[in-house]
Structure 1
Amino acid sequence: MIVLGRIVAPHGVRGGVKIHPFGDDPHSWSKMVYWWLGRNPDSSNEADWKAYKLESLRDQGKNLVASFDEVSDRNGAEALDGLFIAAPREYMPKPGLDEYYWDDLIGLAVLNTADVQLGVVQGLIETGAHDVLQLADGEGDAKVERLIPFVGAFIKSVDLTLREIRVEWEADW
């Protein structure tokens, strides 16, 4: 399952929910007939996710408002508050050239242009201006955490086959 966002509040009296999207093209999700809702974003077990049929999707500031066929009133929407939204990979739109799902980047090794391994991607942070890779290198007291902006000035290549990202970044930065 690829996590797309999170329901942050009910919206209105007809069962709408306000959604904080993870990613920069949430309108492409409107092509998916079903969205899967669940409590644990780390679960890949489809039994932990329940499919809801998307009825409508629209913008509301930086968030989205969605409604589902199965939810007809505010009480139903309140029951969904805090749930994560996900979809199986085969239902997701294909990313464009030089576009990646965050899920595809997590776990990739990050090496600089001098072949020094800087760590492994543990997560990403959405800052508004651009996304930032969160790296971890080492174990225990020797563990080093790094943050690298996910922008063309620093990211030289992403190779999903080799499971690595090449960056213009020094180990002591």
Structure 2
Amino acid sequence: MAPPICVARIGAAHGVRGAVKLWTFTEDPLAVQGYGPLMTKDGARQFEIAGVREAKDHLVATFKGVATRNDAEKLNGIELYVPREKLPATDDDEYYHADLIGLAAVNATDEPLGRVIAIHNFGAGDIIEIAPPKGATLLLPFTNAVVPTVDLAGGRVVIELPQEIEGEEPTLT
């Protein structure tokens, strides 16, 4: 069975009636309300969205059974998951972050570079983070030029490294 996928994280309480800030990790932030009950990673707790509205850069949500600010404050930081099968299928060049985490990273000649440990987006596009066997992690743009091949079945991504990263000195003119 596929591990559940994190679709949101509960933030700080909002107001006095049990609402919380909700940070979603879905393409359409409001899609989070269509997945049914959301759960913690271990499945021990479930949360059903009673209401949701858009705010500046997050959602404001209420959950069934959470009626006071005190109750809402206890939820801060909880990540919310759904079973993989509840998510829509991806297009050919689309991937869920969870599908990429743990894949082997290799260069164009199939030499190992490390493992994919995260995908980040700080506002200027996706960044893939590779942990080599030794040394600091590599942060590279997740573009077709840098990551020309994602082979989910083979469990690997091919990384085209710039010369500076592969150890060759850059040429200055």
TM-score by length of 2: 0.82
Alignment match, 1:62: 57
- Equivalent residue letter for 1:104: D
SS at match of 2:91: coil
Q: In structure 1, how many angstroms separate the alpha carbons of the residues matched to 2:91 and 2:62? A: 27
Cα distance 1:95–1:57, how it changes in 2: closer, same or farther (>3 A)?
A: farther
Given the superposition, is the C-alpha separation of residues 151 and 28 from structure 1 closer, same or farther in structure 2, using an over 3 Å criterion? farther
Q: How many Å apart are 1:53 and its aligned residue?
A: 1.2
TM superposition shift of 1:171: 7.0
User: Does 1:9 pair with 2:42?
Assistant: no
Tell me the percent identity: 36
Residue number among 13, 34, 38 corresponding to 1:35 in the alignment = 38
Structure 1 residue 23 displacement after superposition? 4.6
**CA deviation string 1:117-169 (max 9, x = no partner):** 2211012222111121111111xxx3342111112332212121111112322
In structure 1, stretches of 5+ residues that fail to align are 38-42
Partner letter of residue 64 of structure 1?
L
Specify the alignment match of 1:146 in structure 2. 138
- Which residue pairs with 1:121 in the alignment? 116
Distance 1:51 1:171 in 2: 48
Asked if 1:83 corresponds to 2:78, the answer is yes
Q: Which has the higher strand share?
A: 1
Which of 58, 79, 103 aligns to 2:98? It is: 103
1:160 aligns with 2:152: yes
**CA-to-partner distance for each residue in 1:50-70, whole Å, 9 max, x for gaps?**
111112233212212221122
Count of residue pairs brought into register by the alignment: 162
Rg bigger for which structure?
2
Q: Deviations over 1:82-141 (max 9, x none)?
A: 211111212223333322221111110112223232211012222111121111111xxx
C-alpha RMSD over aligned residues: 2.0
Q: TM-score, normalised by structure 1?
A: 0.82
Deviation at 1:32, TM superposition (A): 1.1
Q: Which runs of 5+ in 2 are unaligned?
A: 166-173
